[in-house]
Amino acid sequence: MLAKLIKLDLRFAYKQFLAMAALLLLVGIFGPIMNISVLKFGLPLIFTITFSVIPVLSIWLVVQHFQRNLFGHEGYLMFSLPVSAGQLLFSKIITTVLWFNLMLFSALALVILLLRPEVSLRVVMADLLTWEAIQTGLRVLLLINVNVLPLILAIFMGIALGTVAVRNKKLGSFWGNVIAIVGIALFIWCCIKLSAWTYLDLTSEAQLFISITVAASQWLNIATSAVFCTLFFGVTTYIMRHRLNLG
């Protein structure tokens, strides 16, 4: 049933995400022709716009879909399907990860394509397709996902909590958002604290073991994310099972 749900979720939102990815690729392809280049705007600006606006936009789309699909009119269909609340949420998480990564790759492709006037595409690809670059890329991708997933789950939890209020939906939504923001802040604070802790004894001697410290920091980051994901997932499924209040 989970596979069917994932298929259904992909069908529910594929047009929006594929259109966004196609738009990014088109900007990348035709940008240099229309005098939009990395040289003109500067690499930091292009990077900032691409890797902040696009993920935020894709998270916004995912959140909109989550709200409409589970707690809007479509919820009448979704919650009458013979599946568990956990399956419903898990399918949303899997499709969210898929869409988010599609957007990340599209953003990366956009930057590479916009670099064409300055650097040959062949040179960029040759640099990117080395074993070391692929390993680093995968590690970065994993860490981005590890850090984004709790944020999305916190927003899902906030939306679900917001529906518990039956008398005043707006107030419920407000408190749901507040709890989601507190959850996100707590996660970020924990990550920073734990990350700082691994670097506490970073004396000149310890710098020899910097790779060990970085690895430890990354593993702590993954563990923190897992704890927060479990917490947010648990609260959301609890609401869907025991406090569901479809309006």
Partner 1 sequence: MSESLLEVKNVSKRYGQQMALDNVSFSVAPGHITGLLGPNGSGKTTMIKIIIGLLADYTGEVRICGHHPGKESKKLVSYLPDKMALPAWLVVREALELYTSFFADFQPTRAHDLLHSLNVPQDKRISELSKGMQEKLMLVLTMARRAKIYVLDEPLAGVDPAARDLILSTILDNFGEDSSILLSTHIISDVETIFDEVLFLKAGVVDLQGEAEVLRSQHGKSIDQLFREVYRC
Binding site for partner 1 (CB under 8 A): 1, 4, 7-8, 12, 15, 73-77, 79-84, 164, 166-167, 240-246
| Residue 164: CB minimum distance to partner 1, A | 8
| Residue 68: CB minimum distance to partner 1, A | 9
Closer residue to partner 1 in complex, CB, 8/102? 8
Counting beta carbons within 10 angstroms of the beta carbon of residue 232, is it exposed (0 to 12), middle (13 to 18) or buried (19 or more)?
A: buried
| Residue 233: CB minimum distance to partner 1, A | 17
| Residue 244: CB minimum distance to partner 1, A | 4
| Residue 80: CB minimum distance to partner 1, A | 5
Measured in residues, the chain has a length of 247
User: Given the structure tokens 């409409």, which residue do they identify?
Assistant: 68
Helix, strand or coil, per DSSP, at residue 243:
coil
- Chain center to CA of 177: 18
| Residue 103: CB minimum distance to partner 1, A | 21
- What is the rounded distance in angstroms from the CA atom of residue 205 to the CA atom of residue 23? 50
Closer residue to partner 1 in complex, CB, 83/97? 83
Closer residue to partner 1 in complex, CB, 36/83? 83
Q: At what angle are helices 54-71 and 131-164 packed, to 10 degrees?
A: 40
Closer residue to partner 1 in complex, CB, 81/212? 81
Closer residue to partner 1 in complex, CB, 44/247? 247
Closer residue to partner 1 in complex, CB, 63/220? 63
Would you say 177 and 162 are in contact if contact means Cβ atoms under 8 Å apart? yes
Question: What phi, psi does 36 have (nearest 5°)?
Answer: -100, 110
Q: Which residue intervals of 115-243 are DSSP H helices? A: 121-128, 131-164, 169-198, 210-242
Which residues, including other chains, have CB under 8 Å from residue 210's CB and lie 6 or more apart?
202
User: Given the structure tokens 């069917």, which residue do they identify?
Assistant: 4
